[in-house]
Structure 1
Amino acid sequence: MGALIILSLVVGVTMMTLNAKADSGYTVVKKIVGNNPNSAYHLTNKSKNVYLWNSQHTKVKANLKHYKNYSWRYYDQSVILSHNSKKSVYYYVQGITPNGNEGSKLQGIIWHGHLTPGVNPNYKQLNNINYRYFNTDTEYLNYIKKSPSQKLTREVLKLFPNTQLSIKLTKAANGASPWAWSSPTVDGYKNILEFPTVQRYFNKRFYKPSISDNTRFKLIKDGLDKSYSQTKRSALNQYQIGIYYYNNPHRLIDDEAPGFTIAVPN
């Protein structure tokens, strides 16, 4: 079993032919499995009937027009179905709720043409979406500007007015890894700046989860002012900033450390 997993990772994409015939007249021709589960899609058209099916395309599990503010996690698994001699590609997806819950019971297959890459763009209705699902700086910045959960992030970015937000750096740094504070390294970046005295205030699991974002921001700003003045921060125009924050401590997982990292791309 272990050898098969390793082989799958080396090859990248594994295909296996299935011969299960669906009662609805659809035949499962081929299943395609990749190894990149961290991508999100949203509906191309939110007003039309779009159906989520079980894996054999025999039962409708949900009409997705009733879930307009969901995003859809794509597990890099798809299936080719044949119907009336025509073949179609369906994606295996799972719902990501507007509040960032990735454990939604809504999961199944959907015709790929109903989906557009990226998180649902109705950012005003979204909270605590995992940064891994954003593809571009513009998408991530729009989410930060509009999401109710990102008030603290917006205020911290103002402290670095000439530093460009980077989703690439956010992903590369995985937030602000506490184990790297003593000797920070981030692949693809140099001149890394970490601020360990203020990073802890980002993490609601480890620092006073009940305090408000306003109080949390004041602690961050006061700490930065003591260690790295606003004049210095404003001069970081050659730098990029990776940052993320969950205002719900129950959304955090063990290998994530909310905070920010500032660095120059190589």
Structure 2
Amino acid sequence: MFSLKKSQMFALIISSLIVGYTTTMINAKADSGYTVVKRMTGNNANVAYHLANNSKNTYLWNGIHTKAKANLRKYKNYSWRYYGKSLILSHNSKKSLYYYIQGITPNGNEASKIRGIVWHSYLTPGINPNYKQLNNIYYRYFNTDSEYLHYVQKSPSQKLTREVLKLFPNTHLSIQLTKAADGASPWAWASPRVDGYKNILEFPTVQKYFNKRFYKPNISDNTRFKLIKAGLDKSYSQTKRNALTQYQIGIYYYNNPHRLIDDEAPGFTIAIPE
């Protein structure tokens, strides 16, 4: 008799859970009655956002807000690429702004299939600040020096970057110079030029060691650093490097070559703002 009651109770609990789960999903998906008022396209698609509150249910919808595609709360370490496209939806006489976004995985993969529209106030500007979980993030998504520095300091993928920065202890890390220089430009070594900067130093003899596509992709970051340090010590002593107090450094590195494209050349550039 006890066994039967226990079995019935168990079935009742399971049934309740299923009903509750189904109701939750329907509540998320059956939010119809939205109409598109206006579609807009901006100029800048290289903008990253993260969730303003990653413990709150935040639904990503299809383009006409008839189907919930994902609950972004489940992707706590993702960032979200803004496509430069948005739309205004009307629901119950209230208008709301939505952004088209696509997931950027913690490993820097921008080909995530998670994409759709989300209410703009669920997002806040910038890469996800869980930097210890992030690797090989596209440097153009960073907006401030401190944001980029924190990523470099904490990301497992940025060990080589951290070690190289120690070779220039009095030189300020600049995301603006990083973006302006695109790392080292191998085709411009003979006459380096970076808009907005002067007295440019590019150290061509060591730049190749940054690029896994062009120099021994299977060697370790430790080996790469030893090669970089030896090359710098030979051409530009530590005493000279310590004296670069008026200079800024732009630098980027991917320890996984999946992010590299033909016109990218990881490396570093040192210069003085004009």
1:206-221 correspondence to structure 2 within 5 Å: 206-221=214-229
Deviation at 1:175, TM superposition (A): 1.1
Q: Which of these residues, 42, 53, 58, is aligned with residue 34 of structure 1?
A: 42
Aligned to 1:153: 161
Query: How many residues were matched structurally?
Result: 245
Of all paired residues, the percent bearing the same amino acid is: 83
Aligned to 1:238: 246
SS at match of 2:140: helix
Offset from partner CA, 1:76-99 (integer Å, 9 cap, x none): 110000000000000000000000
In 2: Cα distance, 1:138 partner to 1:200 partner: 27
2:119 is equivalent to residue 111 of structure 1: yes
In 1: Cα distance, 2:51 partner to 2:220 partner: 34
Q: Which of these residues, 186, 207, 210, is aligned with residue 202 of structure 1?
A: 210
Aligned to 2:137: 129
Offset from partner CA, 1:54-89 (integer Å, 9 cap, x none): 000011110000000000000111000000000000
TM-score (norm 2): 0.88
Q: Which of these residues, 171, 182, 201, is aligned with residue 174 of structure 1?
A: 182
TM-score (norm 1): 0.91
| Greater fraction of residues in helix | 2
Query: 5+ unaligned residues in a row in structure 2: which ranges?
Result: 1-29
| Cα pair distance change 1:207/1:61, threshold 3 Å | same
Aligned to 2:231: 223
Deviation at 1:251, TM superposition (A): 1.5
Offset from partner CA, 1:183-209 (integer Å, 9 cap, x none): 000000000001110000000010001
In 1: Cα distance, 2:259 partner to 2:247 partner: 29
The amino acid across from 2:38 in the alignment is: K
1:61-140 correspondence to structure 2 within 5 Å: 61-140=69-148
Aligned to 1:50: 58
In 1: Cα distance, 2:45 partner to 2:262 partner: 18
In 2: Cα distance, 1:162 partner to 1:252 partner: 29
The amino acid across from 1:25 in the alignment is: G
SS at match of 1:184: coil
In 2: Cα distance, 1:181 partner to 1:151 partner: 26
Query: 5+ unaligned residues in a row in structure 1: which ranges?
Result: 1-21
Deviation at 1:180, TM superposition (A): 1.2
Higher alpha-carbon Rg: 2
Deviation at 1:257, TM superposition (A): 0.4
Deviation at 1:23, TM superposition (A): 8.2
In 1: Cα distance, 2:233 partner to 2:213 partner: 25
